[in-house]
Chains A and B, each alone.
Chain A
Amino acid sequence: EVQLVESGGGLVQPGGSLRLSCAASGFTLRVYEMNWVRQAPGRGLEWVSYSTSSGSAISYADSVKGRFTFSRDNAKNSLYLQMNSLTAEDTAVYYCARESMIAGDAFDYWGQGTLVTVSS
């Protein structure tokens, strides 16, 4: 069974940092492109970052570029999102999502999300 489990969320002060993790199981992570997506309270989905299967190419939404870093350790079946210089606008549930290998660029599996709250 494919599973994605995010962790590392919590309360952080403005200007602070947080590192999210996403543990993958039930599939071979190293062959899949992966993404981070967030959802602010009461708001819509916002794509955050994308990684090729090897991690050799990573892209970011303009809203997080220069502050967030997406990395992956395929040997440990894990993804990471290092978030720096956090502001209240970064408060959201953060999801990791797998891109399908047979359904184009569809996000076929999602984690349950981890909540990040930026507040003093």
Chain B
Amino acid sequence: SYELTQPPSVSVSPGQTARITCSGDALPNQYTYWYQQKPGQAPVLVIYKDNERPSGIPERFSGSTSGTTVTLTISGVQAEDEADYYCQSVDSSGPYRVFGGGTKLTVL
């Protein structure tokens, strides 16, 4: 199976825009999903199929793709958005599921 690469950390001030990237060779051919995980809690889906937002997820969360890189964008970051974020995709050869290493978002 292949790997998904995320930056270990991203820091932004409240109200600014946070961008978290996820890179992988097979991403142009597969959907990407994003999860938010707060300490001691199970992950929560925030973006599916690259750029779709589940019900109940604030509009400030959005997703985009460009070649082998997908990006989770959080506009107008709030203190409550401080969490770990993981991208996930599928390796259809297995079929395997793959997670990125995770990015810790710090709200300064």
Contacts and interface: CB of A to CB of B under 8 A. Distances in A.
Interface of A: 35, 37, 44-47, 50, 57, 59, 61-62, 95, 100, 103-108, 110-113
Contacts of B100: 44
B88 A107 contact: yes
A35 B97 contact: yes
A100 B54 CA distance: 11
A104 B100 CA distance: 18
A105 B97 contact: yes
How many chain B residues sit at the interface, stated as a range, is: 20 to 34
Contacts of B43: 45, 95, 107, 110
B42 A44 contact: no
Interface stretch (B11-19, B44-52, B71-79): B44-52
Interface string B71-96: 00000000000001010101000111
A106 B97 contact: no
Nearest to B92: A105
Contacts of B95: 50, 57, 59
Contacts of B102: 44-45
A50 to B, nearest CB: 6
A108 B45 CA distance: 6
16 contacts: A37-B99, A44-B84, A44-B100, A44-B101, A45-B86, A45-B99, A50-B97, A103-B45, A103-B48, A106-B33, A106-B88, A107-B33, A107-B43, A108-B45, A108-B54, A110-B42
